[in-house]
Chain A
Amino acid sequence: DTAVSQTPKYLVTQMGNDKSIKCEQNLGHDTMYWYKQDSKKFLKIMFSYNNKELIINETVPNRFSPKSPDKAHLNLHINSLELGDSAVYFCASSATGQGGYTFGSGTRLTVV
Protein backbone atom coordinates (compact mmCIF):
# COMPACT_ATOMS: atom_id res chain seq x y z
CA ASP A 1 0.00 0.00 0.00
CA THR A 2 1.71 3.15 -1.22
CA ALA A 3 1.24 5.99 1.27
CA VAL A 4 1.80 8.87 -1.18
CA SER A 5 1.50 7.96 -4.81
CA GLN A 6 2.30 10.18 -7.77
CA THR A 7 1.58 9.61 -11.42
CA PRO A 8 3.20 9.55 -13.83
CA LYS A 9 6.69 8.62 -12.68
CA TYR A 10 8.27 9.92 -15.88
CA LEU A 11 6.97 12.57 -18.24
CA VAL A 12 8.71 13.64 -21.44
CA THR A 13 6.99 16.35 -23.40
CA GLN A 14 7.62 19.14 -25.86
CA MET A 15 7.83 22.82 -25.08
CA GLY A 16 4.50 24.56 -25.13
CA ASN A 17 2.47 21.53 -24.10
CA ASP A 18 0.19 21.36 -21.07
CA LYS A 19 0.57 18.49 -18.62
CA SER A 20 -0.74 17.34 -15.25
CA ILE A 21 0.77 15.37 -12.38
CA LYS A 22 -1.49 13.64 -9.88
CA CYS A 23 -0.88 12.90 -6.21
CA GLU A 24 -2.89 10.91 -3.73
CA GLN A 25 -2.21 10.03 -0.10
CA ASN A 26 -3.91 7.43 2.07
CA LEU A 27 -2.38 8.46 5.39
CA GLY A 28 -5.25 10.64 6.56
CA HIS A 29 -2.98 13.68 6.52
CA ASP A 30 -4.62 17.06 6.12
CA THR A 31 -1.73 18.96 4.53
CA MET A 32 -0.20 18.28 1.12
CA TYR A 33 2.68 19.90 -0.73
CA TRP A 34 4.40 20.20 -4.07
CA TYR A 35 8.17 20.56 -4.11
CA LYS A 36 10.46 21.02 -7.10
CA GLN A 37 13.93 19.43 -7.04
CA ASP A 38 16.35 20.80 -9.59
CA SER A 39 19.36 19.13 -11.15
CA LYS A 40 21.52 20.16 -8.18
CA LYS A 41 19.09 18.41 -5.82
CA PHE A 42 17.89 21.68 -4.33
CA LEU A 43 14.34 21.35 -2.96
CA LYS A 44 12.01 24.30 -3.28
CA ILE A 45 8.46 24.42 -2.00
CA MET A 46 5.88 25.44 -4.57
CA PHE A 47 2.46 25.00 -3.01
CA SER A 48 0.76 23.67 0.07
CA TYR A 49 -2.86 22.86 0.76
CA ASN A 50 -4.41 22.30 4.18
CA ASN A 51 -7.85 20.69 4.11
CA LYS A 52 -8.29 21.73 0.46
CA GLU A 53 -7.32 25.34 1.12
CA LEU A 54 -4.25 26.88 -0.47
CA ILE A 55 -1.96 28.04 2.33
CA ILE A 56 1.43 28.35 0.66
CA ASN A 57 1.91 29.77 -2.80
CA GLU A 58 5.55 30.55 -3.39
CA THR A 59 6.87 32.63 -6.22
CA VAL A 60 5.96 30.24 -8.97
CA PRO A 61 4.97 31.19 -12.53
CA ASN A 62 1.20 31.25 -12.89
CA ARG A 63 1.56 28.58 -15.57
CA PHE A 64 1.59 26.24 -12.57
CA SER A 65 -1.82 25.67 -11.01
CA PRO A 66 -2.49 23.28 -8.15
CA LYS A 67 -5.88 21.76 -7.49
CA SER A 68 -7.05 19.88 -4.43
CA PRO A 69 -10.44 18.24 -4.94
CA ASP A 70 -10.27 16.75 -1.44
CA LYS A 71 -7.68 16.51 1.29
CA ALA A 72 -6.34 13.23 -0.01
CA HIS A 73 -5.53 14.58 -3.48
CA LEU A 74 -3.35 17.37 -4.77
CA ASN A 75 -2.77 17.69 -8.50
CA LEU A 76 -0.44 20.00 -10.39
CA HIS A 77 -1.24 21.33 -13.82
CA ILE A 78 1.40 23.06 -15.89
CA ASN A 79 0.57 25.14 -18.95
CA SER A 80 2.89 26.10 -21.79
CA LEU A 81 5.80 24.01 -20.56
CA GLU A 82 9.29 25.51 -20.85
CA LEU A 83 12.73 23.93 -20.88
CA GLY A 84 13.41 25.32 -17.40
CA ASP A 85 10.50 23.35 -15.99
CA SER A 86 12.52 20.17 -16.35
CA ALA A 87 13.00 18.82 -12.84
CA VAL A 88 11.75 16.20 -10.43
CA TYR A 89 8.47 17.18 -8.78
CA PHE A 90 7.71 15.65 -5.39
CA CYS A 91 4.38 15.52 -3.69
CA ALA A 92 4.38 15.19 0.11
CA SER A 93 1.89 15.08 2.93
CA SER A 94 1.94 15.66 6.67
CA ALA A 95 -0.35 16.03 9.64
CA THR A 96 -0.95 19.69 10.48
CA GLY A 97 1.84 21.24 12.48
CA GLN A 98 3.89 18.05 12.57
CA GLY A 99 6.21 18.90 9.72
CA GLY A 100 7.50 15.39 9.17
CA TYR A 101 6.68 14.65 5.58
CA THR A 102 5.91 11.50 3.72
CA PHE A 103 7.08 11.97 0.15
CA GLY A 104 5.84 10.45 -3.05
CA SER A 105 8.28 8.77 -5.40
CA GLY A 106 8.56 11.84 -7.60
CA THR A 107 7.74 12.69 -11.20
CA ARG A 108 10.70 13.32 -13.45
CA LEU A 109 9.58 15.90 -15.99
CA THR A 110 11.72 16.45 -19.06
CA VAL A 111 10.78 19.20 -21.47
CA VAL A 112 12.39 18.94 -24.89
Chain B
Amino acid sequence: AQSVSQHNHHVILSEAASLELGCNYSYGGTVNLFWYVQYPGQHLQLLLKYFSGDPLVKGIKGFEAEFIKSKFSFNLRKPSVQWSDTAEYFCAVIVTGGFKTIFGAGTRLFVKA
Protein backbone atom coordinates (compact mmCIF):
# COMPACT_ATOMS: atom_id res chain seq x y z
CA ALA B 1 0.00 0.00 0.00
CA GLN B 2 1.12 3.53 -0.64
CA SER B 3 2.21 5.74 2.21
CA VAL B 4 3.55 9.25 2.58
CA SER B 5 5.97 10.38 5.28
CA GLN B 6 6.61 13.95 6.24
CA HIS B 7 9.61 14.09 8.50
CA ASN B 8 9.04 17.35 10.28
CA HIS B 9 5.85 17.77 12.24
CA HIS B 10 6.61 21.29 13.42
CA VAL B 11 9.00 23.83 11.94
CA ILE B 12 9.68 27.28 13.32
CA LEU B 13 11.58 29.79 11.20
CA SER B 14 12.30 33.49 11.23
CA GLU B 15 11.24 35.62 8.29
CA ALA B 16 13.67 35.48 5.36
CA ALA B 17 14.99 32.07 6.38
CA SER B 18 15.05 29.32 3.79
CA LEU B 19 12.60 26.46 4.01
CA GLU B 20 12.83 22.81 3.09
CA LEU B 21 10.13 20.35 4.10
CA GLY B 22 10.81 16.69 3.54
CA CYS B 23 8.40 14.23 1.94
CA ASN B 24 8.97 10.60 1.06
CA TYR B 25 6.52 8.15 -0.40
CA SER B 26 6.46 4.42 -0.75
CA TYR B 27 5.20 3.01 -4.03
CA GLY B 28 7.15 1.32 -6.76
CA GLY B 29 5.10 2.47 -9.74
CA THR B 30 4.35 5.76 -11.41
CA VAL B 31 2.86 8.42 -9.17
CA ASN B 32 1.67 11.98 -9.29
CA LEU B 33 2.85 14.15 -6.41
CA PHE B 34 1.39 17.22 -4.77
CA TRP B 35 1.93 19.77 -2.06
CA TYR B 36 -1.08 21.44 -0.46
CA VAL B 37 -1.18 24.33 2.00
CA GLN B 38 -3.78 24.92 4.67
CA TYR B 39 -3.75 28.40 6.21
CA PRO B 40 -5.17 28.69 9.74
CA GLY B 41 -8.92 28.10 9.71
CA GLN B 42 -9.05 27.55 5.97
CA HIS B 43 -9.33 24.70 3.50
CA LEU B 44 -6.49 23.03 1.63
CA GLN B 45 -5.21 24.68 -1.52
CA LEU B 46 -2.95 23.18 -4.15
CA LEU B 47 0.57 24.68 -4.06
CA LEU B 48 2.16 22.66 -6.82
CA LYS B 49 2.06 19.30 -8.54
CA TYR B 50 4.32 16.93 -10.42
CA PHE B 51 3.04 14.60 -13.11
CA SER B 52 6.02 14.11 -15.42
CA GLY B 53 8.85 15.98 -17.12
CA ASP B 54 11.15 18.43 -15.35
CA PRO B 55 11.56 17.13 -11.81
CA LEU B 56 11.88 20.67 -10.47
CA VAL B 57 8.38 22.05 -10.20
CA LYS B 58 7.52 25.65 -9.48
CA GLY B 59 4.30 26.52 -7.70
CA ILE B 60 2.48 29.52 -6.38
CA LYS B 61 3.86 32.02 -3.85
CA GLY B 62 7.50 31.27 -4.62
CA PHE B 63 7.40 27.60 -3.62
CA GLU B 64 9.12 24.87 -5.57
CA ALA B 65 9.59 21.13 -5.13
CA GLU B 66 12.02 18.62 -6.53
CA PHE B 67 11.10 15.07 -7.41
CA ILE B 68 13.99 12.66 -6.89
CA LYS B 69 12.78 9.31 -8.14
CA SER B 70 15.70 7.32 -6.77
CA LYS B 71 14.98 8.63 -3.28
CA PHE B 72 11.17 8.50 -3.56
CA SER B 73 11.23 12.08 -2.37
CA PHE B 74 9.39 15.27 -3.22
CA ASN B 75 10.74 17.98 -0.93
CA LEU B 76 9.21 21.43 -0.78
CA ARG B 77 11.43 24.51 -0.76
CA LYS B 78 11.20 28.25 -0.53
CA PRO B 79 14.30 30.48 -0.47
CA SER B 80 12.89 33.13 1.85
CA VAL B 81 9.77 32.62 3.96
CA GLN B 82 7.37 35.30 5.06
CA TRP B 83 5.14 35.56 8.11
CA SER B 84 2.16 34.88 5.83
CA ASP B 85 3.57 31.43 5.02
CA THR B 86 2.54 30.26 8.49
CA ALA B 87 0.33 27.27 7.71
CA GLU B 88 0.08 23.51 7.62
CA TYR B 89 1.71 21.86 4.59
CA PHE B 90 0.64 18.49 3.25
CA CYS B 91 2.46 16.27 0.81
CA ALA B 92 0.23 13.90 -1.17
CA VAL B 93 0.63 11.10 -3.70
CA ILE B 94 -1.69 9.33 -6.10
CA VAL B 95 -0.96 6.38 -8.32
CA THR B 96 -1.04 7.69 -11.90
CA GLY B 97 -4.53 7.16 -13.26
CA GLY B 98 -5.83 6.17 -9.85
CA PHE B 99 -8.51 7.68 -7.67
CA LYS B 100 -7.15 7.65 -4.14
CA THR B 101 -4.80 10.37 -2.99
CA ILE B 102 -2.85 9.58 0.16
CA PHE B 103 -1.86 12.54 2.33
CA GLY B 104 1.08 12.84 4.65
CA ALA B 105 0.47 13.77 8.28
CA GLY B 106 1.30 17.42 7.59
CA THR B 107 4.01 19.83 8.72
CA ARG B 108 3.03 22.84 10.74
CA LEU B 109 5.19 25.84 9.80
CA PHE B 110 5.33 28.87 12.02
CA VAL B 111 7.19 31.90 10.73
CA LYS B 112 8.22 34.48 13.31
CA ALA B 113 7.92 38.08 12.19
| Residue positions of A touching B, CB distance < 8 A | 31, 40-43, 45, 48, 50, 55-56, 90, 92, 96-106
Contacts and interface: CB of A to CB of B under 8 A. Distances in A.
Given A41-B38, A41-B108, A42-B105, A99 B45 contact: no
Nearest to B103: A43
B46 A100 contact: yes
A97 B98 contact: yes
Q: Which 3 A-B pairs have the closest CB atoms?
A: A99-B94, A43-B103, A103-B43
Contact of A103 (B44, B94, B96, B105): B44
Interface of B: 32, 34, 36, 38, 42-46, 49, 88, 90, 92, 94, 96-103, 105-106, 108
Contact of B42 (A40, A55, A105): A105
Which secondary structure dominates chain B's binding surface? strand
Given A90-B44, A101-B44, A106-B43, A45 B100 contact: yes
Given A45-B100, A56-B100, A100 B44 contact: no
6 contacts: A50-B99, A90-B44, A97-B99, A101-B36, A103-B45, A105-B43
A100 B99 contact: no
Contact of A99 (B38, B42, B101): B101
Given A41-B88, A43-B90, A101 B101 contact: yes
Contact of A90 (B43, B97, B102): B43
Given A100-B34, A101-B44, A103-B44, 9 more contacts: A50-B99, A90-B43, A96-B99, A97-B96, A99-B94, A99-B101, A100-B32, A100-B49, A105-B42
